[in-house]
């Protein structure tokens, strides 16, 4: 199915879309279309963030939206992330549906108090009487010496906090569907994107649709080993699977799409079938999403494992600037291939 | 710039010469980055300071080597004005092991402890409280140092700015807050972010002096900083100085904003006519401090020296991948 398959080969994608008469859209434009439709369909929706209305438009994902919806609903803000998160929470509990956008995930630590102590707990603290329909979009950066404060992926920090939902869409289809689902969800949702998938194109329906939060997807069926690939790593996993295929290793790739709630069932079913698990993530290893996934598998499918669970991550260091160190820092398909080979 | 408010007569000629030298150094240092950047081997996001040189030069002229300075993502000018070695900075931007941060930080994270630069954060507003902290340490240790924190108009919107002013005022700490108000944060105009454009006024709420100066007039900056530094050294507490200025280049990278449809070219032209380097050079030539030839020679000398620094920096090796895992933790050994 074109909406679940991830294409590495651009021509193959083009041919498929043409053959089936489907529309291709970039991840960036899928996000933009989702927001455009949300703004049009629901007056309580508004976007806020540093630079949402400028000539860059959050790497193009909000570009020009202010022209149709005005600067009150596509609102540039002061450089004041924590306070403005509180403002967004306030607006949310009073009936609005704000989407707070950060160009880099690294700026979220500024908002930790409002996200963790307030947004995440509000519904529980109020005995379920007041909910917080707030979506926080943030983008993981990478490359060109972005260095320690402009390329962090912090989703695991948020996984530790009950009350937050966390989505990590990897494809244009999911970007649109999950964003619409997130805005309509009624809970605080951390919507986490990766800068490197912004140009990727995939099938995106024109109409409004949702992708359910909490449902993962099999990107490639296989029988020998399961790779749970998060965000950008989905693409590396697909490339790795192609290489491994030539070595007679049949890889099943699962894109969890949501980290909280996690589609545990899908992962466990897959591991029961393959008996082997590698988790590939776009962040540091210790205390990461992979640790949680591995543990859940150990809790529920230990007897099915034929080999130790492996993780493919960044090393446990801040991101370096120098190109020689950056190259060494980021794992890719090759790293995955090596990791998988080690299980046989 | 014609009126020097009598500063020239009063000041040490060496200091006056140095103001020009520092500004020229910063200008040419960055012009060289613009030259080499298209070769795509300086892989670090560069936030250029061109147009704002008078602020760093005018403030740092009062600082001792051991005084602390905190800069931002827009770091080059402050480091150079504080005495950092251009070669070590260029090497850092090229990601070389010999760079000031061993290639781990790049342009947004220079460090130079010998010159009072204990590290640089690119998180907007992140450095302000840290400068208050070094000032607190100086007070506790009675070491006589003062701390200066440079930051933009955008940073004055962060909670850290307000929390820092409050605490520094409460404890009367030896710190000077220098706000470089260039009227924009990335592409967002000040008017879209703050209710009025007088950032210095915010000091009043904390009971400390808040002074606004023409940030393109190096003597204005110099004069205001002199009083603020004195206050800090005498234990009379912090000062906020707002320097109104303009960045000529885009927020990041070597292009100009009008090329990307952001700020209009007319603004840039207007401010370029008030070039801090040119204005000051003309003034001191006028006052007979230097001649046009002296100036040409100064430019030539600095240009040649920076050429050497850049060339040398590029020759240095990249870090070995073993470096990747080092420095995460401090190790007593
Ligand atoms: C906490 C935080 N939020 C957002 C950013 C992205 N960002 C980098 S520089 C900048 C604008 C800063 O403006 P200002 O403080 O006026 O300094 P200038 O760049 O004008 O020198 C922004 C929003 C950041 N680095 N840190």
Residues 6+ apart with CB under 8 A from A248: none
The residue out of A138, A173, A203 marking a domain boundary is: A203
Strands A189-194 and A277-284: unpaired
Ligand 1 pocket member B153 (CB < 6 A): yes
B169, part of any domain: yes
Q: How many folded domains does chain B comprise?
A: 1
> Tens of pLDDT along A181-228?
999 999 999 999 999 999 999 999 999 999 999 999 999 999 999 999
Residue A326 located in a structural domain: yes
User: Would residue A4 count as lying in a domain?
Assistant: no
> Considering the domain boundaries, does residue A212 fall inside one?
no
User: Is residue B2, in this structure, part of any structural domain at all?
Assistant: no
Inside any domain, residue B145? yes
Is the interface score ipTM higher than 0.90? yes
CATH number of the CATH domain containing B124? 3.40.50.970
Verify that A176 and A240 share a domain, yes or no: no
Q: Which one from A118, A150, A155, A194 is the annotated catalytic residue? A: A150
What is the number of structural domains in chain A? 2
For residues A158 and A234, membership in a common domain is answered with: no
Q: Say if the Cβ atoms of B325 and A315 lie within 8 Å.
A: yes
**Active site (annotated) includes residue A150:** yes
- Judgement on whether residues A159 and A230 belong to the same structural domain of the protein: no
Give the up-direction half-sphere exposure of residue B40: CA atoms within 13 A in the CB hemisphere. 1
The verdict on a CB contact (< 8 Å) between B104 and A328 is: no
Range of the domain at B18: 7-314
CA closest to A106 among chain B residues: B123
Among B33, B42, B104, B258, most A C-beta atoms within 10 A, so best to mutate, is: B104
- Looking up residue A31, the CATH number of its domain turns out to be 3.40.50.970
- Same domain assignment for residues A222 and A194: no
CB contact under 8 A, A149 and B159: no
Q: What backbone phi and psi angles, to 5 degrees, belong to A138?
A: -145, 155
- CATH (domain of A238): 3.40.50.920
Q: Going residue by residue through chain A (344 aa), what tens digit of pLDDT does each one get?
A: 556 788 888 899 999 999 999 999 999 999 999 999 999 999 999 999 999 999 999 999 999 999 999 999 999 999 999 999 999 999 999 999 999 999 999 999 999 999 999 999 999 999 999 999 999 999 999 999 999 999 999 999 999 999 999 999 999 999 999 999 999 999 999 999 999 999 999 999 999 999 999 999 999 999 999 999 999 999 999 999 999 999 999 999 999 999 999 999 999 999 999 999 999 999 999 999 999 999 999 999 999 999 999 999 999 999 999 999 999 999 999 999 999 999 99
Q: Are residues A195 and A236 in the same domain?
A: no
Q: Is B127 in the pocket of ligand 1 (CB under 6 A)?
A: no
Tell me the residue range of the domain where A67 lies: 10-203
Question: CA-CA distance, B140 to B27, in Å (whole number)?
Answer: 38
Q: What is the mean pLDDT of each run of 10 residues along chain B (333 residues)?
A: 82 96 98 97 98 98 98 98 98 98 98 98 98 97 98 98 98 98 96 96 98 98 98 98 98 92 93 98 96 98 98 98 96 84
Of the candidates A83, A149, A325, which has its C-beta nearest B123's C-beta?
A: A149
Domain-embedded: residue B331: no
* pLDDT tens-digit readout, A113-158: 999 999 999 999 999 999 999 999 999 999 999 999 999 999 999 9
Q: Which mutation among B106, B154, B159, B246 tests ligand 1's pocket best, with the greatest number of atoms within 8 A of CB? A: B154
| CA dihedral angle for residue B31, residue B107, residue B263, residue B201, rounded to 10 degrees | -110
Within-domain flag for A211? no
Check whether residue A129 and residue A259 sit in a common domain. Answer: no
Q: CA nearest B121 in A: which residue?
A: A149
Distance B194 CA to ligand 1 centre (A): 15
* A278 and A135 within one domain: no
Q: Nearest-CA distance from B242 to chain A in Å?
A: 17
Atom from ligand 1 closest to the CA of residue B155: 15
- The minimal CB distance from A80 to the residues B45, B158, B261 is found for B158
Kindly report the CA angle at B319 between B316 and B323, in degrees rounded to 5? 155
For chain B, what is the HEC assignment? CCCCCCHHHHCCHHHHHHHHHHHHHHHHHHHHHHHHHHHCCCCCCCCCCCCCHHHHHHHHCCCCCCCEEECCCCCHHHHHHHCCCHHHHHHHHCCCCCCCCCCCCHHHCCCEHHHCECCCCCCCCCHHHHHHHHHHHHHHHCCCCCEEEEEECHHHHCHHHHHHHHHHHHHCCCEEEEEEECCEECCEEHHHCCCCCCHHHHHHHHCCCEEEEECCCHHHHHHHHHHHHHHHHCCCCCEEEEEECCCCCCCCCCCCHHHHCCCCHHHHHHHHCCCHHHHHHHHHHHCCCCCHHHHHHHHHHHHHHHHHHHHHHHHCCCCCHHHHHCCCCCCCC
User: Model pTM?
Assistant: 0.95
Query: Which of A50, A79, A112 to mutate to test ligand 1, by most ligand atoms within 8 A of the CB atom?
Result: A79
């Amino acid at each position: 199915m074109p909406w679940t398959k991830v294409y590495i080969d651009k021509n193959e994608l083009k041919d498929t879309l043409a053959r089936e008469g489907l529309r291709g859209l970039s991840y960036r434009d899928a996000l933009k279309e989702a927001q455009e439709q949300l703004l049009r369909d629901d007056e309580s929706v508004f976007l806020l963030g540093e630079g949402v209305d400028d000539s860059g438009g959050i790497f193009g994902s909000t570009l020009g939206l202010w022209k149709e919806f005005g600067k009150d609903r596509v609102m540039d803000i002061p450089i004041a992330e924590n306070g403005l998160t509180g403002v967004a929470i306030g607006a949310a509990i009073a009936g609005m549906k704000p989407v707070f956008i950060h160009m880099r995930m690294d700026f979220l630590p500024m908002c930790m108090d409002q996200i963790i102590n307030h947004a995440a707990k509000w519904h529980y603290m109020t005995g379920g009487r007041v909910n917080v329909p707030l979506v926080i979009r943030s983008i993981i950066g990478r490359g060109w010496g972005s260095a320690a404060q402009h390329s962090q992926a912090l989703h695991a920090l948020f996984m530790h906090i009950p009350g937050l939902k966390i989505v990590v869409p990897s494809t244009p289809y999911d970007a649109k569907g999950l964003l619409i689902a997130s805005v309509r969800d009624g809970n605080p949702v951390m919507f986490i994107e990766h800068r490197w998938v912004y140009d990727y194109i995939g099938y995106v329906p024109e109409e409004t649709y949702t992708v359910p939060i909490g449902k993962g997807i099999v990107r490639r069926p296989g029988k020998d080993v399961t790779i749970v690939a998060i965000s950008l790593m989905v693409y590396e996993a697909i490339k790795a699977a192609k290489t491994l295929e030539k070595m007679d290793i049949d890889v099943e790739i699962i894109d969890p799409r949501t980290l909280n709630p996690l589609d545990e069932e899908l992962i466990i079913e897959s591991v029961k079938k393959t008996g082997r698990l590698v988790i590939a993530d776009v962040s540091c290893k210790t205390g990461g999403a992979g640790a949680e996934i591995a543990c859940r598998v150990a809790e529920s499918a230990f007897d099915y494992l034929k080999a130790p669970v492996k993780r493919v991550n960044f090393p446990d260091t801040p991101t370096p600037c120098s190109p020689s160190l950056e190259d060494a820092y980021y794992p890719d398909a090759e790293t995955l291939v090596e990791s998988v080979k080690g299980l046989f | 710039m014609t009126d020097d408010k009598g500063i020239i007569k009063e000041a040490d000629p060496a200091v006056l010469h140095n103001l020009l030298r520092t500004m020229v150094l910063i200008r040419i240092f960055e012009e060289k980055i613009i030259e080499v950047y298209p070769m795509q081997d300086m892989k670090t996001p560069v936030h250029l300071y061109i147009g704002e040189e008078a602020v760093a030069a005018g403030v740092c002229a009062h600082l001792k080597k051991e005084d602390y300075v905190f800069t931002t993502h827009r770091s080059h000018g402050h480091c150079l004005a504080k005495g950092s070695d251009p070669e070590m900075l260029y090497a850092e931007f090229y990601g070389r092991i010999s760079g000031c941060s061993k290639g781990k930080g790049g342009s947004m994270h220079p460090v130079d402890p010998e010159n009072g630069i204990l590290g640089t954060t690119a998180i907007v507003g992140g450095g302000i409280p840290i400068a208050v902290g070094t000032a607190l340490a100086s007070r506790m240790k009675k070491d006589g140092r003062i701390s200066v924190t440079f930051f933009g108009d955008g940073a004055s919107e962060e909670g850290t700015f307000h929390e820092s002013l409050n605490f520094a005022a409460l404890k009367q700490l030896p710190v000077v807050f220098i706000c470089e108000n260039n009227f924009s944060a990335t592409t967002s105009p000040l008017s879209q972010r703050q209710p009025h454009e007088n950032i210095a006024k915010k000091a009043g709420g904390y009971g400390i002096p808040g002074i606004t100066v023409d940030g393109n007039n190096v003597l204005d900056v110099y004069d205001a900083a002199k009083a603020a530094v004195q206050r800090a050294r005498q234990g009379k507490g912090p000062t906020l100085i707002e320097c109104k200025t303009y960045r000529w280049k885009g927020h990041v990278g070597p292009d100009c904003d009008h090329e990307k449809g952001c700020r209009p070219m007319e603004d840039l032209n207007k401010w370029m006519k008030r070039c801090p380097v040119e204005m000051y050079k003309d003034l001191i030539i006028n006052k007979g401090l230097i001649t046009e030839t002296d100036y040409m020679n100064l430019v030539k000398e600095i240009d040649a020296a920076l050429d050497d620094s850049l060339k040398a920096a590029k020759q240095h090796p990249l870090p070995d991948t073993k470096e990747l895992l080092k420095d995460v933790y401090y190790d007593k050994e």
